[in-house]
A and B are shown apart, each in its own frame.
Chain A
Amino acid sequence: MSILEVSNLSIRFGGLLAVDDFNLSLERNELVAVIGPNGAGKTTIFNMLTGIYRPTTGTITLEGENMVGLKPYQFAQRGITRTFQNIRLFSNASVADNVKMAATMHTTDNLAQCLLRTPKMVRNERALDEKVMRLLERLNMADKANLLAKNLPYGDQRRLEIARALMTDPKILLLDEPVAGMITTELEEMAQLVKQIREDFDVSIIMIEHHMNFVMPIADRIKVLDFGKTIAEGTPEVVQKDPKVIEAYLGGAYQNVDA
Protein backbone atom coordinates (compact mmCIF):
# COMPACT_ATOMS: atom_id res chain seq x y z
CA MET A 1 0.00 0.00 0.00
CA SER A 2 1.26 3.42 -0.86
CA ILE A 3 2.07 5.83 1.94
CA LEU A 4 1.26 9.06 0.10
CA GLU A 5 -1.50 9.42 -2.43
CA VAL A 6 -1.65 12.62 -4.45
CA SER A 7 -4.35 12.92 -7.04
CA ASN A 8 -5.45 15.58 -9.50
CA LEU A 9 -3.39 18.23 -7.74
CA SER A 10 -3.71 21.62 -9.45
CA ILE A 11 -3.03 25.18 -8.40
CA ARG A 12 -3.88 28.40 -10.12
CA PHE A 13 -2.26 31.79 -9.44
CA GLY A 14 -4.56 34.33 -11.01
CA GLY A 15 -4.74 33.26 -14.64
CA LEU A 16 -1.73 30.98 -14.49
CA LEU A 17 -2.23 27.29 -14.02
CA ALA A 18 1.09 26.60 -12.31
CA VAL A 19 0.53 22.92 -11.69
CA ASP A 20 -1.98 20.98 -13.71
CA ASP A 21 -3.32 17.60 -12.60
CA PHE A 22 -0.34 16.18 -10.76
CA ASN A 23 -0.70 12.59 -9.59
CA LEU A 24 1.65 10.57 -7.47
CA SER A 25 1.39 7.37 -5.54
CA LEU A 26 4.44 7.03 -3.33
CA GLU A 27 5.42 3.65 -1.91
CA ARG A 28 7.07 3.16 1.43
CA ASN A 29 10.84 3.69 1.15
CA GLU A 30 10.62 4.67 -2.48
CA LEU A 31 12.70 7.43 -4.07
CA VAL A 32 10.94 9.47 -6.70
CA ALA A 33 12.61 12.30 -8.54
CA VAL A 34 10.73 15.19 -10.09
CA ILE A 35 12.57 16.84 -12.92
CA GLY A 36 11.75 19.52 -15.40
CA PRO A 37 12.98 22.88 -16.70
CA ASN A 38 12.87 26.05 -14.59
CA GLY A 39 9.35 27.28 -13.97
CA ALA A 40 7.85 23.84 -14.57
CA GLY A 41 6.12 23.98 -11.17
CA LYS A 42 8.34 21.60 -9.21
CA THR A 43 8.83 23.73 -6.12
CA THR A 44 5.17 24.70 -6.26
CA ILE A 45 4.30 21.02 -5.89
CA PHE A 46 6.55 20.86 -2.82
CA ASN A 47 4.86 23.94 -1.44
CA MET A 48 1.52 22.20 -1.77
CA LEU A 49 2.84 18.96 -0.29
CA THR A 50 4.04 20.87 2.78
CA GLY A 51 1.00 23.06 3.28
CA ILE A 52 2.59 26.35 2.29
CA TYR A 53 0.19 26.65 -0.66
CA ARG A 54 -3.29 25.28 -0.64
CA PRO A 55 -4.06 23.50 -3.91
CA THR A 56 -6.96 24.84 -5.98
CA THR A 57 -8.17 21.30 -6.59
CA GLY A 58 -6.98 17.81 -5.80
CA THR A 59 -6.25 15.73 -2.74
CA ILE A 60 -3.20 14.84 -0.69
CA THR A 61 -3.64 11.75 1.45
CA LEU A 62 -0.98 10.59 3.88
CA GLU A 63 -1.63 7.09 5.20
CA GLY A 64 -5.34 7.54 4.68
CA GLU A 65 -5.53 11.01 6.23
CA ASN A 66 -6.56 13.98 4.14
CA MET A 67 -3.89 16.69 4.41
CA VAL A 68 -5.37 19.51 2.32
CA GLY A 69 -6.11 22.55 4.46
CA LEU A 70 -3.63 21.75 7.19
CA LYS A 71 -0.96 24.26 8.20
CA PRO A 72 2.71 23.67 7.31
CA TYR A 73 3.63 22.72 10.88
CA GLN A 74 0.87 20.12 10.84
CA PHE A 75 2.29 18.58 7.68
CA ALA A 76 5.62 18.29 9.48
CA GLN A 77 4.01 16.88 12.59
CA ARG A 78 2.26 14.21 10.54
CA GLY A 79 5.49 13.21 8.85
CA ILE A 80 6.19 15.24 5.71
CA THR A 81 9.29 17.42 6.01
CA ARG A 82 11.33 19.24 3.45
CA THR A 83 14.56 21.00 2.70
CA PHE A 84 14.66 24.29 0.87
CA GLN A 85 16.16 25.14 -2.47
CA ASN A 86 17.32 28.52 -1.17
CA ILE A 87 18.80 27.39 2.13
CA ARG A 88 16.71 28.38 5.13
CA LEU A 89 18.69 27.53 8.23
CA PHE A 90 18.35 29.13 11.63
CA SER A 91 21.48 31.03 10.82
CA ASN A 92 22.28 32.57 14.21
CA ALA A 93 21.93 29.28 16.08
CA SER A 94 24.56 26.56 16.39
CA VAL A 95 24.51 23.46 14.22
CA ALA A 96 23.38 21.32 17.15
CA ASP A 97 20.65 23.79 18.03
CA ASN A 98 19.45 23.89 14.43
CA VAL A 99 18.83 20.17 14.58
CA LYS A 100 17.31 20.37 18.06
CA MET A 101 14.88 23.02 16.91
CA ALA A 102 13.37 20.47 14.56
CA ALA A 103 12.63 18.24 17.56
CA THR A 104 10.47 20.90 19.22
CA MET A 105 7.28 19.02 18.47
CA HIS A 106 8.55 15.92 20.29
CA THR A 107 9.17 17.87 23.50
CA THR A 108 7.59 16.32 26.56
CA ASP A 109 8.71 18.97 29.05
CA ASN A 110 6.15 21.60 29.91
CA LEU A 111 6.79 25.27 30.47
CA ALA A 112 7.22 25.01 34.23
CA GLN A 113 9.79 22.24 33.92
CA CYS A 114 11.74 24.31 31.43
CA LEU A 115 11.57 27.50 33.49
CA LEU A 116 12.82 25.71 36.59
CA ARG A 117 15.22 23.47 34.65
CA THR A 118 14.23 20.41 36.63
CA PRO A 119 16.52 17.35 36.71
CA LYS A 120 14.07 15.52 34.49
CA MET A 121 14.20 18.31 31.95
CA VAL A 122 18.01 18.27 32.00
CA ARG A 123 17.93 14.50 31.44
CA ASN A 124 15.65 14.94 28.46
CA GLU A 125 17.91 17.64 27.11
CA ARG A 126 20.86 15.32 27.42
CA ALA A 127 19.02 12.52 25.68
CA LEU A 128 18.08 14.91 22.90
CA ASP A 129 21.64 16.11 22.61
CA GLU A 130 22.90 12.55 22.36
CA LYS A 131 20.38 11.81 19.65
CA VAL A 132 21.37 14.93 17.77
CA MET A 133 25.04 14.06 18.03
CA ARG A 134 24.42 10.56 16.71
CA LEU A 135 22.59 12.05 13.76
CA LEU A 136 25.34 14.57 13.11
CA GLU A 137 27.93 11.82 13.29
CA ARG A 138 26.15 9.91 10.58
CA LEU A 139 26.34 13.01 8.43
CA ASN A 140 29.98 13.62 9.33
CA MET A 141 29.17 16.91 11.00
CA ALA A 142 29.66 16.08 14.66
CA ASP A 143 32.84 18.13 14.90
CA LYS A 144 30.94 21.20 13.75
CA ALA A 145 28.14 20.92 16.32
CA ASN A 146 29.01 24.16 18.10
CA LEU A 147 29.58 26.32 15.03
CA LEU A 148 26.96 28.83 14.01
CA ALA A 149 24.97 27.64 11.00
CA LYS A 150 25.74 30.81 9.07
CA ASN A 151 29.47 30.13 9.34
CA LEU A 152 29.27 26.70 7.68
CA PRO A 153 30.53 26.15 4.14
CA TYR A 154 27.82 25.82 1.53
CA GLY A 155 27.85 22.04 1.21
CA ASP A 156 27.59 21.62 4.96
CA GLN A 157 24.64 23.98 5.06
CA ARG A 158 22.82 21.73 2.61
CA ARG A 159 23.62 18.67 4.71
CA LEU A 160 22.52 20.46 7.86
CA GLU A 161 19.17 21.13 6.19
CA ILE A 162 18.83 17.40 5.63
CA ALA A 163 19.89 16.62 9.20
CA ARG A 164 17.33 19.06 10.48
CA ALA A 165 14.58 17.55 8.38
CA LEU A 166 15.49 14.05 9.56
CA MET A 167 15.22 15.14 13.17
CA THR A 168 11.45 15.53 12.77
CA ASP A 169 11.29 11.74 12.22
CA PRO A 170 9.67 12.10 8.82
CA LYS A 171 7.83 9.44 6.91
CA ILE A 172 8.39 11.36 3.72
CA LEU A 173 11.37 13.57 3.05
CA LEU A 174 11.17 16.19 0.33
CA LEU A 175 14.53 17.32 -1.00
CA ASP A 176 14.40 20.51 -3.04
CA GLU A 177 17.50 20.56 -5.26
CA PRO A 178 19.86 19.04 -2.69
CA VAL A 179 22.95 19.48 -4.86
CA ALA A 180 22.22 22.89 -6.37
CA GLY A 181 25.43 24.87 -6.52
CA MET A 182 27.63 21.97 -5.45
CA ILE A 183 30.83 20.87 -7.15
CA THR A 184 31.24 17.44 -8.77
CA THR A 185 33.04 15.76 -5.87
CA GLU A 186 30.30 16.87 -3.52
CA LEU A 187 27.68 15.37 -5.84
CA GLU A 188 29.03 11.90 -5.25
CA GLU A 189 29.03 12.40 -1.48
CA MET A 190 25.47 13.65 -1.55
CA ALA A 191 24.32 10.71 -3.66
CA GLN A 192 25.85 8.36 -1.10
CA LEU A 193 24.18 10.29 1.70
CA VAL A 194 20.75 10.16 0.10
CA LYS A 195 21.08 6.41 -0.44
CA GLN A 196 22.24 5.93 3.13
CA ILE A 197 19.40 8.00 4.54
CA ARG A 198 16.91 5.97 2.60
CA GLU A 199 18.27 2.75 4.05
CA ASP A 200 18.90 3.91 7.61
CA PHE A 201 15.84 6.00 8.30
CA ASP A 202 13.13 4.07 6.48
CA VAL A 203 11.80 7.16 4.72
CA SER A 204 10.28 7.72 1.33
CA ILE A 205 11.97 10.49 -0.59
CA ILE A 206 10.70 12.86 -3.22
CA MET A 207 13.48 14.86 -4.79
CA ILE A 208 13.63 17.81 -7.16
CA GLU A 209 16.87 17.96 -9.05
CA HIS A 210 18.43 19.28 -12.22
CA HIS A 211 21.62 17.21 -12.19
CA MET A 212 20.80 14.20 -14.34
CA ASN A 213 23.84 12.16 -13.43
CA PHE A 214 22.91 12.67 -9.79
CA VAL A 215 19.30 11.61 -10.21
CA MET A 216 19.56 8.72 -12.65
CA PRO A 217 21.47 6.21 -10.51
CA ILE A 218 19.53 6.72 -7.27
CA ALA A 219 15.92 7.30 -8.27
CA ASP A 220 13.42 4.45 -8.52
CA ARG A 221 11.07 6.50 -10.61
CA ILE A 222 11.21 9.85 -12.34
CA LYS A 223 8.39 12.23 -13.14
CA VAL A 224 9.04 14.87 -15.76
CA LEU A 225 7.20 18.17 -15.59
CA ASP A 226 6.89 20.89 -18.18
CA PHE A 227 4.70 23.98 -17.80
CA GLY A 228 2.92 22.40 -14.85
CA LYS A 229 1.99 19.24 -16.74
CA THR A 230 3.43 15.78 -16.22
CA ILE A 231 4.82 14.81 -19.61
CA ALA A 232 6.53 11.56 -18.75
CA GLU A 233 6.89 9.11 -15.93
CA GLY A 234 8.74 5.87 -15.27
CA THR A 235 12.07 4.33 -14.41
CA PRO A 236 15.18 6.36 -15.26
CA GLU A 237 15.82 4.13 -18.28
CA VAL A 238 12.35 4.66 -19.67
CA VAL A 239 12.27 8.39 -19.07
CA GLN A 240 15.71 8.80 -20.54
CA LYS A 241 14.54 7.41 -23.83
CA ASP A 242 11.20 9.18 -24.00
CA PRO A 243 11.30 11.50 -27.04
CA LYS A 244 8.97 14.03 -25.39
CA VAL A 245 11.34 14.37 -22.47
CA ILE A 246 14.37 14.71 -24.65
CA GLU A 247 12.64 17.42 -26.58
CA ALA A 248 11.19 19.34 -23.64
CA TYR A 249 13.96 19.13 -21.17
CA LEU A 250 16.94 16.91 -21.65
CA GLY A 251 17.64 17.93 -25.22
CA GLY A 252 21.32 17.76 -25.89
CA ALA A 253 22.18 18.59 -22.30
CA TYR A 254 21.87 15.13 -20.85
CA GLN A 255 23.69 13.51 -23.70
CA ASN A 256 26.53 15.91 -23.07
CA VAL A 257 26.66 14.95 -19.43
CA ASP A 258 26.48 11.31 -20.35
CA ALA A 259 29.30 11.49 -22.82
Chain B
Amino acid sequence: MKKCLLLLKKFGPLLGSILFYALIMFLRREKILNGYYMQVLMFAGVNVMMTVSLNLVNGFTGQFCIGHAGFMSLGAYGSAVITTLLFKGTEFAAAAPIAVFLLGLLCGGIAAALVGVLIGVPSLKLKGDYLAIVTLAFGEIVRALLRLIQPIGGARGMIGIPNYANFGWIMFFVVLTLWLVRNLIYSPFGRAFIAIRDNEIAADAMGINTTRYKILSFCIAAFIAGVAGGLYAHVLSFIQPDSFSFTKSSDFLVYLYAGGSGSLTGSVIGAVLLTILPEMLRFLADWRLVLYALILVCVMLYRSEGLCGGKEVPFLRIKRESLYQEPLFGRRRASSEHEEGGQA
Protein backbone atom coordinates (compact mmCIF):
# COMPACT_ATOMS: atom_id res chain seq x y z
CA MET B 1 0.00 0.00 0.00
CA LYS B 2 2.69 2.42 1.03
CA LYS B 3 4.69 1.35 -1.93
CA CYS B 4 1.72 2.03 -4.20
CA LEU B 5 1.47 5.57 -2.91
CA LEU B 6 5.16 6.12 -3.42
CA LEU B 7 4.93 4.71 -6.90
CA LEU B 8 2.11 7.10 -7.67
CA LYS B 9 4.09 10.00 -6.26
CA LYS B 10 7.09 9.13 -8.31
CA PHE B 11 5.36 8.47 -11.59
CA GLY B 12 2.31 10.69 -11.04
CA PRO B 13 3.72 13.66 -12.94
CA LEU B 14 4.61 11.43 -15.87
CA LEU B 15 1.16 9.92 -15.82
CA GLY B 16 -0.36 13.38 -15.57
CA SER B 17 1.59 14.57 -18.59
CA ILE B 18 0.47 11.58 -20.61
CA LEU B 19 -3.15 12.16 -19.61
CA PHE B 20 -2.84 15.84 -20.49
CA TYR B 21 -1.41 14.91 -23.86
CA ALA B 22 -4.24 12.44 -24.45
CA LEU B 23 -6.79 15.10 -23.51
CA ILE B 24 -5.36 17.64 -25.91
CA MET B 25 -5.21 15.03 -28.69
CA PHE B 26 -8.81 14.08 -27.97
CA LEU B 27 -9.93 17.72 -28.13
CA ARG B 28 -8.00 18.10 -31.35
CA ARG B 29 -9.68 15.09 -32.92
CA GLU B 30 -13.09 16.30 -31.85
CA LYS B 31 -12.22 19.58 -33.60
CA ILE B 32 -12.69 21.58 -30.39
CA LEU B 33 -9.12 22.77 -30.74
CA ASN B 34 -8.26 23.98 -34.22
CA GLY B 35 -4.81 24.12 -35.78
CA TYR B 36 -4.33 27.68 -34.60
CA TYR B 37 -4.95 26.79 -30.97
CA MET B 38 -2.58 23.88 -31.30
CA GLN B 39 0.10 26.25 -32.55
CA VAL B 40 -0.47 28.58 -29.62
CA LEU B 41 -0.12 25.62 -27.25
CA MET B 42 3.10 24.58 -28.93
CA PHE B 43 4.49 28.10 -28.64
CA ALA B 44 3.50 28.04 -24.99
CA GLY B 45 5.63 24.90 -24.62
CA VAL B 46 8.59 26.51 -26.35
CA ASN B 47 8.18 29.55 -24.12
CA VAL B 48 8.12 27.33 -21.03
CA MET B 49 11.49 25.91 -22.06
CA MET B 50 12.88 29.37 -22.74
CA THR B 51 11.63 30.70 -19.42
CA VAL B 52 12.92 27.73 -17.44
CA SER B 53 16.35 28.12 -18.99
CA LEU B 54 16.33 31.84 -18.32
CA ASN B 55 15.30 31.06 -14.76
CA LEU B 56 18.42 28.95 -14.36
CA VAL B 57 20.59 31.99 -15.10
CA ASN B 58 18.52 34.83 -13.66
CA GLY B 59 16.47 33.14 -10.99
CA PHE B 60 18.84 30.53 -9.61
CA THR B 61 22.32 31.81 -10.39
CA GLY B 62 21.43 35.46 -9.87
CA GLN B 63 22.98 36.72 -13.09
CA PHE B 64 21.17 39.03 -15.47
CA CYS B 65 20.73 37.76 -18.99
CA ILE B 66 18.49 40.03 -21.03
CA GLY B 67 19.45 38.75 -24.47
CA HIS B 68 18.14 35.23 -24.23
CA ALA B 69 16.51 35.34 -27.67
CA GLY B 70 20.04 35.35 -29.08
CA PHE B 71 20.59 31.78 -27.88
CA MET B 72 17.16 30.84 -29.19
CA SER B 73 18.01 32.19 -32.62
CA LEU B 74 21.28 30.25 -32.70
CA GLY B 75 19.37 27.08 -31.90
CA ALA B 76 16.67 27.83 -34.44
CA TYR B 77 19.14 28.54 -37.21
CA GLY B 78 21.52 25.78 -36.18
CA SER B 79 18.81 23.14 -36.32
CA ALA B 80 17.22 24.55 -39.44
CA VAL B 81 20.55 24.43 -41.25
CA ILE B 82 20.80 20.72 -40.44
CA THR B 83 17.26 19.74 -41.31
CA THR B 84 16.68 22.10 -44.21
CA LEU B 85 19.97 22.87 -45.90
CA LEU B 86 21.79 19.58 -45.30
CA PHE B 87 19.13 16.93 -45.28
CA LYS B 88 16.03 18.27 -46.99
CA GLY B 89 15.02 16.08 -49.90
CA THR B 90 17.67 13.48 -49.14
CA GLU B 91 16.79 9.84 -48.91
CA PHE B 92 18.00 9.73 -45.35
CA ALA B 93 15.55 12.45 -44.31
CA ALA B 94 12.71 10.57 -46.00
CA ALA B 95 13.67 7.33 -44.28
CA ALA B 96 14.36 8.66 -40.80
CA PRO B 97 12.91 12.15 -40.36
CA ILE B 98 12.97 11.81 -36.58
CA ALA B 99 16.70 11.16 -36.57
CA VAL B 100 17.29 14.23 -38.70
CA PHE B 101 15.03 16.28 -36.46
CA LEU B 102 16.75 15.18 -33.27
CA LEU B 103 20.17 15.70 -34.81
CA GLY B 104 19.08 19.20 -35.78
CA LEU B 105 17.90 19.99 -32.27
CA LEU B 106 21.10 18.64 -30.78
CA CYS B 107 23.24 20.71 -33.11
CA GLY B 108 21.13 23.78 -32.41
CA GLY B 109 21.56 23.26 -28.70
CA ILE B 110 25.29 22.71 -29.00
CA ALA B 111 25.73 25.78 -31.19
CA ALA B 112 23.93 27.91 -28.62
CA ALA B 113 25.85 26.36 -25.72
CA LEU B 114 29.22 26.91 -27.41
CA VAL B 115 28.45 30.53 -28.06
CA GLY B 116 27.18 30.73 -24.49
CA VAL B 117 30.62 29.70 -23.25
CA LEU B 118 32.29 32.00 -25.74
CA ILE B 119 30.52 35.10 -24.47
CA GLY B 120 30.38 33.81 -20.93
CA VAL B 121 34.11 33.56 -20.39
CA PRO B 122 35.03 37.20 -20.86
CA SER B 123 31.78 38.82 -19.87
CA LEU B 124 31.05 37.03 -16.62
CA LYS B 125 33.74 39.15 -15.03
CA LEU B 126 31.23 41.95 -15.35
CA LYS B 127 28.64 42.32 -12.67
CA GLY B 128 24.92 43.02 -12.59
CA ASP B 129 23.71 45.57 -15.08
CA TYR B 130 26.91 45.56 -17.08
CA LEU B 131 26.57 41.85 -17.66
CA ALA B 132 22.94 42.43 -18.61
CA ILE B 133 23.84 44.98 -21.25
CA VAL B 134 26.51 42.70 -22.70
CA THR B 135 23.99 39.89 -23.11
CA LEU B 136 21.65 42.37 -24.79
CA ALA B 137 24.46 43.44 -27.10
CA PHE B 138 25.27 39.82 -27.78
CA GLY B 139 21.68 39.08 -28.82
CA GLU B 140 21.62 42.04 -31.17
CA ILE B 141 25.01 41.20 -32.69
CA VAL B 142 23.84 37.66 -33.38
CA ARG B 143 20.78 39.08 -35.05
CA ALA B 144 22.90 41.40 -37.18
CA LEU B 145 25.20 38.52 -38.16
CA LEU B 146 22.27 36.33 -39.14
CA ARG B 147 21.00 39.15 -41.33
CA LEU B 148 24.35 39.30 -43.09
CA ILE B 149 24.77 35.61 -43.90
CA GLN B 150 23.14 35.11 -47.27
CA PRO B 151 23.10 31.26 -47.51
CA ILE B 152 20.61 31.19 -44.61
CA GLY B 153 18.41 33.80 -46.17
CA GLY B 154 19.88 36.99 -44.74
CA ALA B 155 17.29 39.41 -43.46
CA ARG B 156 14.50 37.62 -45.31
CA GLY B 157 14.98 34.53 -43.21
CA MET B 158 14.65 30.83 -43.94
CA ILE B 159 11.49 29.31 -45.31
CA GLY B 160 10.40 25.75 -45.97
CA ILE B 161 11.73 24.27 -42.74
CA PRO B 162 10.04 20.88 -42.37
CA ASN B 163 7.47 21.08 -39.58
CA TYR B 164 8.71 18.05 -37.71
CA ALA B 165 7.75 19.36 -34.29
CA ASN B 166 4.24 18.40 -33.30
CA PHE B 167 2.51 18.79 -29.96
CA GLY B 168 3.82 15.45 -28.73
CA TRP B 169 7.44 16.44 -29.29
CA ILE B 170 6.92 19.75 -27.57
CA MET B 171 5.31 18.04 -24.57
CA PHE B 172 8.15 15.55 -24.47
CA PHE B 173 10.82 18.24 -24.43
CA VAL B 174 9.01 20.41 -21.91
CA VAL B 175 8.62 17.52 -19.46
CA LEU B 176 12.21 16.43 -20.05
CA THR B 177 13.51 19.95 -19.49
CA LEU B 178 11.57 20.37 -16.28
CA TRP B 179 12.75 17.01 -14.98
CA LEU B 180 16.40 17.66 -15.80
CA VAL B 181 16.43 21.19 -14.49
CA ARG B 182 14.70 20.14 -11.28
CA ASN B 183 17.30 17.42 -10.76
CA LEU B 184 20.05 19.91 -11.44
CA ILE B 185 18.76 22.47 -8.96
CA TYR B 186 18.55 19.91 -6.17
CA SER B 187 22.12 18.76 -6.71
CA PRO B 188 25.53 20.13 -5.76
CA PHE B 189 25.50 22.10 -9.00
CA GLY B 190 22.19 23.76 -8.26
CA ARG B 191 23.29 24.53 -4.72
CA ALA B 192 26.42 26.16 -6.07
CA PHE B 193 24.26 28.30 -8.38
CA ILE B 194 22.02 29.35 -5.51
CA ALA B 195 25.03 30.09 -3.31
CA ILE B 196 26.38 32.43 -5.98
CA ARG B 197 22.98 34.10 -6.24
CA ASP B 198 22.61 34.62 -2.52
CA ASN B 199 26.11 35.77 -1.72
CA GLU B 200 28.85 35.58 -4.27
CA ILE B 201 31.64 36.59 -1.89
CA ALA B 202 30.66 33.91 0.62
CA ALA B 203 30.32 31.32 -2.15
CA ASP B 204 33.83 32.13 -3.27
CA ALA B 205 35.12 31.94 0.31
CA MET B 206 33.51 28.49 0.71
CA GLY B 207 35.56 27.05 -2.13
CA ILE B 208 33.05 27.43 -4.95
CA ASN B 209 34.73 28.39 -8.20
CA THR B 210 32.13 31.03 -9.00
CA THR B 211 33.29 31.79 -12.52
CA ARG B 212 33.17 28.14 -13.50
CA TYR B 213 29.66 27.66 -12.15
CA LYS B 214 28.40 30.86 -13.70
CA ILE B 215 29.68 29.80 -17.10
CA LEU B 216 28.19 26.36 -16.59
CA SER B 217 24.83 27.87 -15.75
CA PHE B 218 24.96 30.06 -18.85
CA CYS B 219 26.02 27.14 -20.96
CA ILE B 220 23.22 24.82 -19.80
CA ALA B 221 20.65 27.58 -20.17
CA ALA B 222 21.94 28.35 -23.65
CA PHE B 223 21.68 24.69 -24.62
CA ILE B 224 18.06 24.48 -23.50
CA ALA B 225 17.28 27.77 -25.24
CA GLY B 226 18.93 26.41 -28.38
CA VAL B 227 16.78 23.29 -28.34
CA ALA B 228 13.70 25.43 -27.73
CA GLY B 229 14.72 27.58 -30.68
CA GLY B 230 15.04 24.45 -32.81
CA LEU B 231 11.55 23.37 -31.82
CA TYR B 232 10.25 26.86 -32.60
CA ALA B 233 11.75 26.71 -36.09
CA HIS B 234 10.17 23.34 -36.74
CA VAL B 235 6.76 24.44 -35.51
CA LEU B 236 6.60 27.58 -37.58
CA SER B 237 8.70 26.30 -40.53
CA PHE B 238 9.80 29.88 -41.07
CA ILE B 239 12.39 31.91 -39.18
CA GLN B 240 13.93 35.31 -39.69
CA PRO B 241 16.55 37.19 -37.68
CA ASP B 242 14.12 39.89 -36.62
CA SER B 243 11.93 37.36 -34.81
CA PHE B 244 14.69 37.13 -32.20
CA SER B 245 15.05 40.76 -31.28
CA PHE B 246 15.28 42.34 -27.85
CA THR B 247 11.47 42.39 -27.79
CA LYS B 248 11.52 38.61 -27.79
CA SER B 249 14.11 38.51 -25.02
CA SER B 250 12.03 40.86 -22.93
CA ASP B 251 9.01 38.59 -23.46
CA PHE B 252 10.88 35.80 -21.71
CA LEU B 253 11.94 38.14 -18.92
CA VAL B 254 8.31 39.10 -18.48
CA TYR B 255 7.22 35.44 -18.31
CA LEU B 256 9.95 34.72 -15.79
CA TYR B 257 9.34 37.57 -13.38
CA ALA B 258 5.56 37.63 -13.73
CA GLY B 259 5.54 33.94 -12.88
CA GLY B 260 8.04 34.34 -10.08
CA SER B 261 11.79 33.91 -10.53
CA GLY B 262 13.60 31.17 -8.67
CA SER B 263 10.65 28.84 -9.03
CA LEU B 264 10.12 26.34 -11.84
CA THR B 265 6.38 26.34 -11.23
CA GLY B 266 6.44 30.11 -11.71
CA SER B 267 8.18 29.76 -15.06
CA VAL B 268 5.62 27.27 -16.30
CA ILE B 269 2.67 29.33 -15.11
CA GLY B 270 4.11 32.61 -16.32
CA ALA B 271 5.01 31.31 -19.77
CA VAL B 272 1.76 29.42 -20.37
CA LEU B 273 -0.58 32.10 -19.04
CA LEU B 274 1.12 35.00 -20.74
CA THR B 275 1.42 33.16 -24.05
CA ILE B 276 -2.25 32.31 -24.07
CA LEU B 277 -3.53 35.58 -22.59
CA PRO B 278 -2.83 37.82 -25.62
CA GLU B 279 -4.50 35.23 -27.85
CA MET B 280 -7.57 35.24 -25.63
CA LEU B 281 -7.65 39.02 -25.83
CA ARG B 282 -7.72 39.03 -29.61
CA PHE B 283 -11.34 40.17 -29.67
CA LEU B 284 -10.12 43.52 -28.32
CA ALA B 285 -8.29 44.21 -31.58
CA ASP B 286 -6.03 47.25 -31.12
CA TRP B 287 -6.72 47.43 -27.38
CA ARG B 288 -5.35 43.94 -26.82
CA LEU B 289 -1.76 44.89 -26.03
CA VAL B 290 -2.92 47.87 -23.99
CA LEU B 291 -4.83 45.59 -21.67
CA TYR B 292 -2.01 43.05 -21.65
CA ALA B 293 0.42 45.78 -20.61
CA LEU B 294 -1.94 46.96 -17.88
CA ILE B 295 -2.34 43.43 -16.54
CA LEU B 296 1.42 43.00 -16.53
CA VAL B 297 2.03 46.25 -14.66
CA CYS B 298 -0.67 45.40 -12.14
CA VAL B 299 0.79 41.94 -11.52
CA MET B 300 4.19 43.47 -10.87
CA LEU B 301 2.76 46.19 -8.63
CA TYR B 302 0.48 44.05 -6.53
CA ARG B 303 2.32 40.77 -6.62
CA SER B 304 5.91 41.64 -7.27
CA GLU B 305 7.20 38.27 -6.09
CA GLY B 306 5.42 36.85 -9.15
CA LEU B 307 2.20 34.95 -9.61
CA CYS B 308 3.35 31.92 -7.69
CA GLY B 309 5.72 33.80 -5.40
CA GLY B 310 8.66 31.42 -5.30
CA LYS B 311 6.48 28.48 -4.31
CA GLU B 312 7.03 25.13 -5.95
CA VAL B 313 4.54 22.36 -6.65
CA PRO B 314 5.60 19.05 -5.04
CA PHE B 315 6.92 17.28 -8.12
CA LEU B 316 9.12 20.20 -9.14
CA ARG B 317 10.82 20.12 -5.75
CA ILE B 318 12.94 17.54 -3.97
CA LYS B 319 12.68 17.57 -0.22
CA ARG B 320 15.56 16.66 2.06
CA GLU B 321 13.47 13.94 3.66
CA SER B 322 12.96 12.17 0.33
CA LEU B 323 16.63 11.14 0.50
CA TYR B 324 15.71 8.74 3.27
CA GLN B 325 12.75 7.14 1.55
CA GLU B 326 12.92 3.43 0.88
CA PRO B 327 13.77 2.93 -2.78
CA LEU B 328 11.01 1.47 -4.90
CA PHE B 329 13.01 -1.38 -6.21
CA GLY B 330 15.68 -3.33 -4.37
CA ARG B 331 17.04 -2.72 -0.91
CA ARG B 332 18.39 0.51 0.37
CA ARG B 333 22.12 0.45 0.42
CA ALA B 334 24.13 1.84 3.27
CA SER B 335 24.80 5.39 2.28
CA SER B 336 28.00 5.94 4.15
CA GLU B 337 30.02 3.40 2.24
CA HIS B 338 30.82 5.78 -0.53
CA GLU B 339 31.51 9.02 1.22
CA GLU B 340 33.36 7.92 4.30
CA GLY B 341 34.65 4.49 3.48
CA GLY B 342 32.25 2.59 5.73
CA GLN B 343 33.17 4.49 8.83
CA ALA B 344 29.63 4.75 10.20
Contact = CB atoms under 8 A, between A and B. Distances in A.
Interface of A: 50, 52, 71-73, 75-77, 81-82, 84, 88-94, 96-97, 100-105, 107, 109, 111, 114-117, 119-131, 145-146, 164-165, 167-168
Contact of A76 (B187, B207, B324): B207
A124 B338 contact: yes
Contact of A125 (B198, B205, B216, B323): B323
A90 B324 contact: no
B336 interface: yes
Interface in B242-288: 262
A130 B202 CA distance: 23
B323 A101 contact: no
Nearest to B62: A92
24 contacts: A52-B201, A71-B204, A73-B210, A76-B205, A76-B206, A88-B205, A90-B199, A92-B194, A92-B198, A102-B206, A102-B207, A103-B188, A104-B188, A104-B191, A104-B206, A104-B208, A105-B209, A114-B188, A115-B187, A123-B338, A124-B338, A127-B340, A128-B339, A164-B206
Contact-residue bracket for chain B: 35 or more
A203 to B, nearest CB: 15
A19 B175 CA distance: 56
Main DSSP-derived SS at the A contact region: helix
A63 to B, nearest CB: 17
Contacts of B187: 109, 114-115, 117, 121, 125
Given A88-B205, A100-B188, A104-B208, 17 more contacts: A73-B204, A73-B205, A73-B209, A75-B205, A77-B207, A84-B202, A88-B199, A88-B202, A93-B194, A104-B191, A105-B207, A111-B216, A115-B187, A126-B323, A127-B338, A130-B335, A165-B206
Interface in B170-197: 180, 183-184, 187-192, 194-195, 197
A168 B323 contact: no
Nearest to B180: A115
A91 B202 CA distance: 11
Nearest to A103: B188
A100 B199 CA distance: 15
B54 to A, nearest CB: 18
A114 B339 contact: no
Contact of B183 (A71, A101, A114): A114
